[in-house]
Amino acid sequence: MIQLKVNGIQRSFDGDPQMPLLWYLRDELRLTGTKFGCGIALCGACTAHKNGEAIRSCVTPMSTLAGAEITTIEGLSENGLHPVQKAWIQVNVPQCGYCQPGQMMQAAALLKSKKNPSDADIDDAMSGNICRCGTYQRIRVAIKAAAEAQT
Amino acid sequence: MSAIENVSRRGFLKGLVAAGGLVLAVRFYPEIAGHERAPGSNQADLAKFHPNVFLGINPDGTVYIVAHRSEMGTTSRTSLPLVVADELDADWKRVKIEQAIGDPKYGSQNTDGSQSIRGFYDVMRMAGATGRLMLIQAAARQWGVDPAQCATEMHVVVHQATNRKLGYGELATAASKLPVPAIADIKLKPKSAWRYIGKGSPSYDLEALCTGKAVFGMDGQLDGMVYASIEHPPVLGGKVKSVDDQEALKVAGVRQTVQIDPYQPPPAFQPLGGIAVIADNTWAAFQGRKKLKIDWDNGANESYDSEAYKKELQETARKPAKVVRSEGDVDAAFAKGGKIIEADYYVPLLAHASMEPMVALAEFKDGRATIWAPTQNPQAVQDIVSQELHIAKENVICHVTLLGGGFGRKSKPDYVAEAAVLSKKLNKPVKVVWTREDDIKFDYYNAVAAMHMKAAMGEKGKPSAWLQRSVFPPITSIFDVNAVYGDPGHLQQGWTDIPYDLPNLRVENGAAKAHVRIGWLRSVANIYHAFAVQCFTDELAHASGRDAVDYQLDLLGKPRIVDLKNTNYPNYGAPYDVYPIDTARLINVMQMAAEKSGWGKRRLGKRAGLGFAAHRSFLTYVATVVEVEVDDQGEIKIPRVDTVVDAGLVVNPEATHAQFQGAAVFGTSVVKTGEITATKGAIDQSNFQDYPVARMNEAPYQTNVYLVESDAPPAGVGEPGVPPFVAALCNAIFAATGKRIRELPLSKNKLV
């Protein structure tokens, strides 16, 4: 039995300990904001936070999550919208939107460690997250807008 | 009762789509009380006032507008209802969008070909204007005044003389009792009164998309459903010889395996066949699949090897082929001698790789299949599911979720049919989930193509003769196993439509047999055709010592309507008199792109260059200038793109900007890394490590989009950005390095 917190709620898991967090979130908890894109940590659509750090939930086995605090897009902000979400709306970032929860989770983690990220910081942090619609230009603008709003 | 309902509603659409002054059929409006809700009916259908299939208004003032096209990121689900709301004079904040199920009563729902706006702009305007006129008539009747004395303001009818007002909600019941007016009686708003058309709006779903609440196909859930992951035949047309599923069944959560029959040629949209692993969750289904031991009969396509096939295509491209357009006498002009320039171009198979892999949820129950799927074409879902399950089309209810990208792949519902077939076999709801590997290996690929170009250089380098020949396995091969030539619908894409004013011109197409499923992918044949034509044009300009933009303007000659009377040219299904190839518009976007980009004036660093290309596709004119920098390792960076677009009237400019920004990124993937290959008939690539797509650090840093102000009828915006970008980037690489890119992707070329 693995005990963990997901979006502040205490959970216990007794299934296959090799099951990645992604499928626990999606198929068992029915938190479907975290997306399946590649299954091998190449696209970032499944990005969630473990103890505040961005992780790829598609390759994070449940066995590694005892005592962990997991945050998904559904729990990114406790009340209202997170500054990153506000910036995403303001800049009108999404096209199809499928990758955007992962993009926002990655961006939120970036802004926690770097209050005013440079272009190079943004490239470094965000290049693991693929957007096939090609919204990168707006993602960059939105991250800068969120950084500005935070200061 | 429902028969009348269907007839009259279909009549509405026919009246608008067909030419001539047709009259709306007598409207039928459903009485809600005691009326059993039909499967798939939406709030607009059920609303008190329901003048046509796209619109419903309730007494509380809520306006329901039906989005019948699929949303995959182009914002059509927002932009078309916005047109209805504008003509209705409705408050957008009080509009709720209802996504339509698949139903022919809406007209075509095949969301491809960049045609949602152009195909339904007029229909949407009439749908809204009809509602507005009936609300005015209802108010006038209550006030006992002439409707001509009444007007609308936002969500209210006003009697101007007495300043009396009635809200749309207050009028819904009275309006529902009026006959639907004839089309001839309906007045559309003048442009000056437009609230939303041309101003646009962010996606209706924007907040849901930013909070994880938006529902994609991947998010479909039904109580009691099981999950399926399918091992497909690795080679197209392959069959299961034998299967050992013992180890698979030992995986915790795996329930059983089910064999799916191979398709009967041609493949079309049928399931590919294979072994499905059925499990309690997605992960268990994936794990079980890995334990399957299957012996395959690979069939005839096992002989297919993409490297050998490439040589065949290139050889075919060097031999005379079928003539698909001819002006003057090319052979005589070439025979005169003088300087001849030839070049060969090649583009490999490309995969769509939408971020959401193929997925569908189906429930077969009581003779009816109910589907929830991210599909670009719910009517095609009805067709294939009806065929596979031997049930009437009306018994296939296809709900359309949001699509996590489509790019043409999700027009082809093989994956949806799989879910339906499995649900019928298992008698419970089934969700089929493809892995990324399935998505890459079992795509309908954009055709591999070889192009041969030849020009005789005349005065100032202007060609006295021009020959172009393309060879590619046609999309029609998925419907006809014997098809080897391009059909007019794909030959028109950047090939038979070449707009240059040249005395001797011949366009040819050679034969190629398909060994994988070929399908349309964003911009389709325009990608490889525009690559060849626009890069070859750049080569000729350079060989003539001329500026690339000036040279191409010279090739276009005086502004004219290109005469294609003797060519089988379908013009993307649009009438040629309404949407001709007007070179004045092409010239305009070219000149604007040169000006906006600072063409010929910008100072660039070492190993940096600007490249230019212009191309009309999906009835839209685009000119693009790309700036590229090449570093010591031959890696490219794209600091800036300027693209000028004449798409006629643009309903949603903001969303249109986004489409062209995205097209530059999509085009970057095509140029840098897009390549699918096959060995012994099986696709070599599997996931983003060997089919990479552009990431943030590789994508253009800044794409500036300029829309030409135009009252011309609306044209496409989803696809036209990719082809000129691809060619302009390759031309920029030449400007920066002196290396011509004649074969994609870039990894086939050594830049430094």
Fold designation for B217-299+358-433: Aldehyde Oxidoreductase; domain 4 (3.30.365)
Look at A133 and B436 and tell me if their CB atoms are within 8 Å: no
Does A42 sit within 8 Å of B687, measured CB to CB? yes
Model pLDDT, residue B41: 87
Query: How is A124-147 classified by DSSP, letter by letter?
Result: HHHTTS--TT--HHHHHHHHHHHH
Minimal CA–CA distance to B612: which of B702, B727, B695?
B727
CA atoms within 13 A on the CB side of B133: 20
Contacts of B726 (CB under 8 A, 6+ apart): B527, B530, B531, B613, B667, B670, B671, B744
The CA-based dihedral angle spanning residues B739, B745, B747, B751, taken in that order and rounded to the nearest 10 degrees: 10
Give the separation between CA B261 and CA B11, rounded to whole angstroms: 40
Cβ atoms of B717 and B661 closer than 8 Å: no
Q: Report residue B55: phi and psi, to 5°.
A: -140, 140
Q: Which two tokens stand for residue B559?
A: 């502004």
Buried b (16+ CB within 10 A) or exposed e, B681-720: bbbebbbbeebbbbbbebbbbebbbbbbebebbbbbbbbb
Closest CA in chain B for residue A87? B210
Give CA angle at B463 (B460, B466), nearest 5°.
170
For B212, which of A23, A43, A101 is closest by C-beta distance?
A: A101
Is the Cβ–Cβ distance between B617 and B642 less than 8 Å?
A: no
Q: Phi and psi at residue A4, in whole multiples of 5°?
A: -155, 170
Which residues on neighbouring strands pair with residue B151, listed in sequence order? Answer: B158
Using the 8-state DSSP alphabet, how is residue A25 labeled? I
Is the Cβ–Cβ distance between B605 and B640 less than 8 Å? no
The answer to whether the Cβ–Cβ distance between B696 and A26 falls below 8 Å is no
The type of residue at B40 is G
CB pairs < 8 Å spanning A and B = 181
Give the CA count within 13 Å in the CB-facing half-sphere of B602.
21
pLDDT digits (tens, 9 = 90+) for A62-103: 999 999 999 999 999 988 999 999 999 999 999 999 999 999
Residues in CB range of B93: below 8 A, 6 or more apart: none
d(CA B52, CA B56): 8
Strand order in the sheet with B359-365: B254-260, B274-279, B226-231, B430-433, B359-365, B368-373, B396-400
3-state secondary structure of B318: coil
- How many Å apart are CA B617 and CA B23, to the nearest integer? 34
Nearest to A38 by CA among A93, A108, A107, A98: A98
Domain with residue A19: its CATH number is: 3.10.20.30
Asked if B745 and B141 touch (Cβ cutoff 8 Å), the reply is no
Q: For the residues of B126-193, what is the DSSP string, one character each?
A: HHHHHHHHHHHHHHHHHHTS-GGGEEEETTEEEETTTTEEEEHHHHHHHHTTSPPPPGGGPPPPPGGG
Stretch 507-526 of chain B: residues touching chain A, C-beta under 8 Å:
none
Distance CA B10, CA B68 (A): 14
CA B206/CA A88 separation, integer angstroms = 9
Number of C-beta neighbours around residue B743 at 10 A: 18
Distances (CA, A) of B66 to B46, B80, B145, B410, B496: 12, 9, 32, 21, 37
B334 in Cβ contact with B354 (< 8 Å): no
Q: Which of B71, B213, B353 sits opposite A132 (nearest CB)?
A: B353
Q: Give residue A150's pLDDT band: very low, low, confident or very high (50, 70, 90).
A: confident
Three-state DSSP class for residue B327? strand
Between CA B311 and CA B320 the distance in angstroms is 16
Separate counts of helices (H) and strands (E) for chain A: 5, 5
Residues A71 and A121 in one domain: no
CATH code: domain of residue A145: 1.10.150.120
The CA distance from A108 to A76, in Å, is 9
Whether A68 and A90 share a structural domain: no
Nearest to B93, CA basis, from B191, B188, B195: B195
Tokens for A2, please give them. 């693995």
B217-299+358-433 and B306-350+444-748 share one fold: yes
Please judge whether B214 and A97 are an interchain contact, meaning their C-beta atoms are less than 8 angstroms apart.
yes
State how far the Cα of B154 lies from the Cα of B144, in Å rounded to an integer.
Answer: 22
* 3-class secondary-structure state, position B515: coil
CB atoms within 10 A of CB B25: 17
Q: In this structure, what token pair is assigned to residue A19?
A: 């099951």
Residues of B in contact with A33 (CB under 8 A): 211-213
The domain locations on chain B are 2-201, 217-299+358-433, 306-350+444-748
**3-class secondary structure, B433:** strand
Phi, psi dihedral angles at A17 (to 5 degrees)? -65, -15
The answer, for B388 touching chain A at a CB cutoff of 8 Å, is no
Q: Which residues contact A2 (CB under 8 A, 6 or more apart)?
A: A12, A13, A14, A17, A62, A63, A65, A66
Which member of B227, B654, B666 has the closest CB to residue A134? B666
User: Could you tell me whether strands B293-297 and B682-683 are parallel, antiparallel, or unpaired per DSSP bridges?
Assistant: unpaired
Interface membership of B626 toward A (CB under 8 Å): no
Pick A43's closest partner by Cβ from B71, B209, B355: B355
**Segments of chain B with pLDDT less than 50:** 1-35
Residue closest to B524 by CA, chosen among B74, B70, B112 = B112
Strand (E) positions, B21-143? 49-52, 55-57, 63-67, 95-99
Task: Give the pLDDT score at A79.
Answer: 83
Confirm or reject contact between B227 and chain A (CB < 8 A): yes
Residue A69 and residue A6 in one domain: yes
How many CA atoms lie within 13 Å of B562's alpha carbon, on the beta-carbon side?
25
* Residue-range definition of the domain harbouring residue A71: 2-75
Antiparallel, parallel or unpaired: β A69-71 and B49-52? unpaired
**Inter-chain CB proximity A89 and B206 less than 8 Å:** yes
What was the pLDDT predicted at B38?
A: 75
| Residues B705/B376, Cβ–Cβ less than 8 Å | no
Nearest chain A residue to B435 by CA distance is A38
Residue-level pLDDT at B37: 62
Q: Which of A55, A75, A95 is the last residue of a domain?
A: A75
- Chain B interface mutation, best of A6, A136, A139, A141, highest count of B Cβ atoms under 10 Å: A136
Whole-prediction pTM: 0.95
- Please identify, among A75, A106, A125, the residue that sits at the C-terminal boundary of a domain: A75
Whether B470 contacts B486, CB under 8 Å: yes
H-type alpha helices, A60-118: 83-91, 100-113
The pairing of beta strand B463-471 with beta strand B505-510? parallel
| Count of structural domains within chain A | 2
Q: Are residues A62 and A113 in the same domain?
A: no
Nearest-neighbour CA in chain A from B645: distance (Å): 18
Optimal mutation site among A137, A138, A141, interface B, most CBs of chain B within 10 A: A137
Record: fold of B306-350+444-748: Aldehyde Oxidoreductase; domain 4 (3.30.365)
Q: Where are the alpha helices (DSSP H) in B181-256?
A: 206-211, 246-250
Q: Are residues A88 and A66 in the same domain?
A: no
Q: How far is CA B199 from CA B67, B192, B656, in A?
A: 19, 12, 11
- Which of B218, B433, B654 has its CB closest to that of A92? B654
| A9 and A70 part of one domain | yes
Architecture category of domain B2-201 in CATH:
2-Layer Sandwich (3.30)
Helices (H), B366-466: 378-389, 414-426, 436-441
Which among B209, B694, B696 has CB closest to A97? B209
Q: How confident is the model at residue A28 (pLDDT cuts 50, 70, 90)?
A: very high
| Å between A67 CA and nearest CA of chain B | 22
ipTM of the complex model: 0.98
Residue A50 pairs in a beta bridge with A53, A70
- pLDDT exceeds cutoff 90 at A151: no
pLDDT at B600: 95
Residues 252-291 of B with CB under 8 A from A: 252-253, 281-284, 286
A43 CB-contact burial (10 Å; exposed 0-12 / middle 13-18 / buried 19+): buried
Of A19, A94, A95, the CB nearest to B210: A94
Q: Are the beta carbons of A123 and B696 separated by less than 8 Å? A: yes
Choose, out of B278, B355, B409, B659, the residue to mutate when testing the contact with A (most A CBs < 10 Å).
B355
The residue type of A72 is: T
Q: Which of A38, A96, A121, A124 to mutate to test the interface with B (most CBs of B within 10 A)?
A: A96
Contact between B628 and B651 (Cβ < 8 Å): no
Contacts of B253 in chain A (CB under 8 A): 15-16
Tokens read off for B622: 């685009």
> CB burial class (10 A; 0-12, 13-18, 19+) of residue B249?
middle
pLDDT tens figures, A98-124: 999 999 999 999 999 999 999 999 999
- Domain stops at, among A75, A97, A114: A75
